[in-house]
Amino acid sequence: MSRLVVVSNRVAPIDEGKQTAGGLAVAVLAALKKTGGIWFGWSGNVVEGESQDQPTLTEAGRLTYATLDLGRRDHDEYYNGFANQTLWPLFHFRLGLIAVSRRTRQGYERVNAWFADRLHPLLRPDDMIWVHDYHLIPFGEELRRKGCTQRMGFFLHTPFPPPELITALPNHADLIRELCAYDLVGFHTVTDLRGFLDYIRQETDGQVEQRGDEETATVRAFGRTLLAKVFPISIDTAQLESIARTSARSRQTERLRESLVGRRLIIGVDRLDYSKGLPQRFEAFEQLLLSYPEHCNRVTFLQVAPPSREDVPEYIAIRRELSELAGRINGRFAEFDWMPIRYLNRSFGQRTLAGFYRAANVGFVTPLRDGMNLVAKEYVACQDPDNPGVLVLSQFAGAARELEEALIVNPFDVEGVADALQRALTMPLPERKERHGALMRRLRNHDIGWWRESYVDALTRAPYD
Ligand code: F6P
């Protein structure tokens, strides 16, 4: 079996037990433990002066972490700049927010080339290389330039927009050519794949071949042949079910329950990001209290929103906006013994959140656009099957494609979302159980192991020409 080399902007903390393990970390760690290999990327540290010259190698069984500190300039141009002020808003359909600058674009290309340079000496001829996310699109082409012929796959964790949006990016063809340097390009949903294929059809002289399967296509473009395919990421369903059973009785969950004094609970958990639709979500909760005043002093909305990308101006702005909104809504509706919105700018570990999800009557997941959204899947997996809560889910989250039995909403339609909350809060037990049962069947069949194995299997079969 070939050794696996995983490349991602962030490398999960070495102390696996401590951290909230995201889908990427769970999948990658399991795959690397199986085949042995390297996990290569940014250490998460920013240093004054130049980026670290050689990676720090840390052995953990058959797995080697290879991490690099980024210098301030590289971090500003590559991570804060092109990745998070250009590609992130572009890929989340927010053209009004994109910053276009040659300096950050060059920084992005430069850091990708530098990363590739640092990984190159660690590679073996038979390695399989799996690169993750929008920070690292040029990485594969940089390795090819150095003569690497290994199988290389890329997985995009964000949405991929239609060509009408991509073409707003200067030199967009270069970015798509870089994507075509991989043998396998994975997307979360059919819509994302279609965006990529439409770009190839409309903007290049390449060809797309789809044989009756809307989830898979062979692409011939920029002198290369690659497979583009849908692989919806998922969660470790069985493990989370078991954690939630235990966490249901944890001290923190008990404290949360006691603090509610019999009130119903709506929960939202998101990085503090403008793509998550938090202002509209707060307004929808306010609308619930206006349209259905019987919920005043009977329902609490707990929103966990750890700050993210705090150097980027749009993230500073959304943080200010949400603090004001939460303050205004609470000021308007609060009683001396009830705070309608509990808004927390901090994170919690996976075990704590699992207990909170289980205690919540409604999971409130309403991004304006999201690649997948694993919180939606986690909320479902953490429910008590005998008395499950209801998921209210945005039609614009990748997860809505699979989680059809959730209450699917348009997050821009504040009144419609308030009505969905009302329906969730009043849904009879048999309907809740039926919906939850159907959702769980899908999450058990398509868990994180399934995602990882289907991707790695497809990559093993490369090249595709
Ligand atoms: O899902 C998109 C993503 O950028 C991941 O790649 C990343 O792990 C996560 O969001 C958190 O973002 P950041 O690494 O910028 O804190």
30, 251, 417 from 26: Cα distances, Å: 6, 26, 32
- Six-digit token string for 200: 């190839």
- Atom 14 of ligand 1, residue of closest alpha carbon: 10
Cα 464 to Cα 219: distance, rounded to the nearest angstrom:
9
Residues catalogued as catalytic: 157, 370
CA 359 to ligand 1 centroid distance, Å: 27
Quote ipTM for the complex: 0.95
Quick check: 375 and 269 in contact, CB under 8 A?
A: yes
8, 263, 417, 442 from 135: Cα distances, Å: 8, 43, 33, 30
Q: Quick check: helix, strand or coil at residue 462?
A: coil
Cα 258 to Cα 10: distance, rounded to the nearest angstrom:
37
Burial, 190: exposed, middle or buried (Cβ in 10 Å; 0-12, 13-18, 19+)? middle
Per-residue pLDDT, 270: 97
Q: Measuring CA to CA, which residue among 371, 408, 312, 322 is closest to residue 92?
A: 371
Query: Please, what is the end-to-end C-alpha distance for the chain in angstroms?
Result: 22
Cα 149 to Cα 223: distance, rounded to the nearest angstrom:
15
- Atom 7 of ligand 1, residue of closest alpha carbon: 10
**For the chain, percent of residues with pLDDT exceeding 70:** 98
Per-residue pLDDT, 128: 97
Q: pLDDT category, 15, cuts 50, 70, 90?
A: low
Quick check: 250 and 351 in contact, CB under 8 A?
A: yes
Cα 43 to Cα 69: distance, rounded to the nearest angstrom:
5
CA 271 to ligand 1 centroid distance, Å: 9
Over residues 224-252, mean pLDDT: 97
- Look up residue 128 and give its amino acid: M
268, 340, 369 from 335: Cα distances, Å: 22, 9, 34
Q: Is the pLDDT of residue 18 over 60?
A: no
Domains in the chain, CATH or no CATH each: 4-234+448-461 (3.40.50.2000), 237-445 (3.40.50.2000)
Cα 221 to Cα 66: distance, rounded to the nearest angstrom:
32
Pocket test for ligand 1, best of 7, 9, 87, 270 (most atoms within 8 A of CB): 9
- Six-digit token string for 271: 């990085």
Over residues 122-147, mean pLDDT: 97
Q: Measuring CA to CA, which residue among 40, 59, 111, 116 is closest to residue 80?
A: 111
Per-residue pLDDT, 17: 47
Per-residue pLDDT, 116: 98
3-state SS of 4-21 is: EEEEEEECCCCCCCCCCC
Q: pLDDT category, 35, cuts 50, 70, 90?
A: confident
Please tell me which residue, 121 or 26, carries the higher pLDDT value. Answer: 121
- Six-digit token string for 85: 């002020």
Per-residue pLDDT, 401: 95
Cα 319 → chain centroid: 19
3-state SS of 127-183 is: CEEEEECHHHCCHHHHHHHCCCCCEEEEECCCCCCCHHHHCCCCCHHHHHHHHCCCC
Q: pLDDT category, 276, cuts 50, 70, 90?
A: very high
Q: Is the pLDDT of residue 20 over 60?
A: no
- Six-digit token string for 30: 């399991």
- Atom 1 of ligand 1, residue of closest alpha carbon: 157
- Atom 6 of ligand 1, residue of closest alpha carbon: 133
Paired residues of 217 in beta bridges: 228
Per-residue pLDDT, 13: 63
Per-residue pLDDT, 301: 98
- Look up residue 216 and give its amino acid: T
pLDDT in tens, 207-217: 999 988 999 99
Per-residue pLDDT, 22: 65
Q: pLDDT category, 364, cuts 50, 70, 90?
A: very high
Cα 297 to Cα 330: distance, rounded to the nearest angstrom:
11
Over residues 384-402, mean pLDDT: 98
Cα 10 to Cα 12: distance, rounded to the nearest angstrom:
6
Alpha helix (H) residue ranges in 248-373: 251-260, 278-291, 313-333, 350-359
pTM of the model: 0.97
pLDDT in tens, 44-74: 999 999 999 999 999 998 999 999 999 999 9
Q: Measuring CA to CA, which residue among 234, 233, 231, 232 is closest to residue 459?
A: 231
Residue 376 has a CB neighbour count (10 Å cut-off) of 27
CA 309 to ligand 1 centroid distance, Å: 9
CA 439 to ligand 1 centroid distance, Å: 26
- Please, what's the largest Cα pairwise distance for the chain? 69
Q: Is the pLDDT of residue 230 over 90?
A: yes
How does the average pLDDT of the chain come out, rounded?
96
- Six-digit token string for 388: 């499950």
Q: Quick check: helix, strand or coil at residue 409?
A: strand
CA 133 to ligand 1 centroid distance, Å: 8
| CB-defined site of ligand 1, < 6 Å | 10, 22, 24, 133, 157-158, 308-309, 371
Ligand 1 atom with the smallest distance to the CA of 132 is 6
